[in-house]
Amino acid sequence: MPIYEKRSVIDIDPATLFRWHTRPGAFERLSPPWQHLRVLARHGGISDGARVTLVLRHGPLSLRWEALHRGFVDGVQFQDVQVSGPFKKWEHTHKVEPTGDGRAMLVDRVDYALPLGPLGRLGTMFLGPMMERLFAFRHRRIATDLARHKAMGQGRRLRLVLTGRAGFVLTQLAAFLSTGGHLVHVFPTSEDVRVGPTQVVWGPTAVPDFAALEQADAVLHVGLHALPQLLRTLDERRSRARAVIALPTVAGSDQPAGDASELGAIANGSPRRVVALLTPGLLVAWPALEGMAPAESVTPSVDGALVGLDDLLGAAYFATTDDGLRGVFEVTLPRAGQTAAVPREVARFVPEVRTLQLRVPEHASSRPFSETGFTPLNATLAESILAEMGWPAVKGRGTKDEGRREDRRSA
């Protein structure tokens, strides 16, 4: 039966790498954005007996997949085994091995078989490249997420409250911060991401846990318009939050963009450290957005001012952890404001990407976020598209594979 294996050296200690997988949000960070993949049910984490039920859509087809976790050895490995789904057999072992120099080897080993006999064996020829793309994406995302937490977080464990409009940005931000080891409490504005709030509010539709708000080290808010109300509430609750980081919400909602002149005055005049991050567009693979953003806020254009998902999350984290940073900043690729042709080497991936339009105030006085010392993972449009689509092997744009892959068949 076919066996797929990928090994990558991650510049982090083995214990930290294993803990990353045990935290809430790991699945959301590892889900390939180019696939229509959704969690239907989840019971437990990754220990023995835990289960997860997924639905995978491909065109008109919808596949239900249920997996059982077993083989858990704390700090070493865990497995997910298909109970029901598209494969005849699927046993995926996640393993962490010490390299002897303080780093860790991340190993993904999949023992699998397709149904339909000879036809299934023919299908494995096409499945190999798909798995390589998937695990290259996963290994790169784990490595870059952990590198950012190591460099920016410097071992601190923060109490973070996330507020504002529920949806794609808030979900990914919560997953990124949680897998980094921070205590994350989410107060979404609405459970239905297609429905905007009926009034200018920062908080949830239900009564929040104000104790978390009072004890927070920082508050990250999706929606620029409600900063005055949020800061006023923090004062009323005597919150210890020293920093408030504000990001734009999606366009096409009932939420206003906020007042450009007021935004700067708030950021510079508050006794708390306030950072507002402006970007009018977020580059995302289309399947990841389906059901997570209003249709009117999603466009097929990749021209103009925009930024990739991981760099928006990284900028928000940088702003949270840099105690000397305050003010209004623009977070965009260097080509911001320009209409330019899509690089030829990534053109074939463009039909799968979209720009999520975000609501920012017009004529806001801001500085480029690059002036703060923040280093983006993907400095060009081509690199951002490749990152979102799984770092495919494109001539001149590939990235070094730190591990190795084995595809072998046994009797």
Amino acid 7: pLDDT:
97
Q: Can you give the residue range of the structural domain that contains 98?
A: 2-150
Shared domain for 146 and 164, answered yes or no, is no
Nearest partner of 161 among 240, 83, 102, judged by Cα: 240
Longest dimension (CA), the chain: 71
Question: pLDDT class for 341, splitting at 50, 70, 90?
Answer: low
Amino acid 213: pLDDT:
85
Shared domain for 202 and 337, answered yes or no, is yes
> Number of C-alpha atoms within 13 angstroms, CB side, residue 392?
15
Q: Are 216 and 233 in contact (CB under 8 A)?
A: no
Give me the CATH number covering residue 231: 3.40.50
Shared domain for 45 and 186, answered yes or no, is no
For residue 91, list its beta bridge partners. 81, 111
Mean pLDDT throughout 242-267? 82
Shared domain for 139 and 169, answered yes or no, is no
Nearest partner of 174 among 372, 386, 317, judged by Cα: 317
Helix (H) / strand (E) element for 184: namely strand 183-188
The rounded mean pLDDT for the chain is 84
Contacts of 89 (CB under 8 A, 6+ apart): 1, 82, 111, 112, 113
Q: How many domains does the chain have?
A: 2
Q: List the Cα angle 98/102/106 in 5-degree steps.
A: 40
- For 304, phi and psi rounded to 5 degrees? 85, -165
Shared domain for 111 and 17, answered yes or no, is yes
pLDDT in tens, 299-309: 888 878 899 99
In the predicted model, is pLDDT for residue 407 greater than 70? no
Q: How many CB atoms within 10 Å of residue 308?
A: 25
Shared domain for 143 and 179, answered yes or no, is no
pLDDT in tens, 22-76: 998 999 999 999 988 888 898 988 999 999 999 988 777 888 999 999 999 999 9
CA 353 to chain centre: 15
pLDDT in tens, 203-222: 444 445 778 888 999 999 99
10 in a domain, yes or no?
A: yes
C-alpha to C-alpha distance for 25 and 140, rounded to whole angstroms = 16
Shared domain for 227 and 205, answered yes or no, is yes
Shared domain for 112 and 214, answered yes or no, is no
Shared domain for 362 and 318, answered yes or no, is yes
Contacts of 124 (CB under 8 A, 6+ apart): 2, 114
Q: How many CB atoms within 10 Å of residue 346?
A: 21
Question: pLDDT class for 321, splitting at 50, 70, 90?
Answer: very high
Mean pLDDT throughout 323-329? 95
Shared domain for 93 and 200, answered yes or no, is no
Question: pLDDT class for 108, splitting at 50, 70, 90?
Answer: very high
In the predicted model, is pLDDT for residue 408 greater than 70? no
Mean pLDDT throughout 364-368? 88
Shared domain for 179 and 98, answered yes or no, is no
Shared domain for 132 and 244, answered yes or no, is no
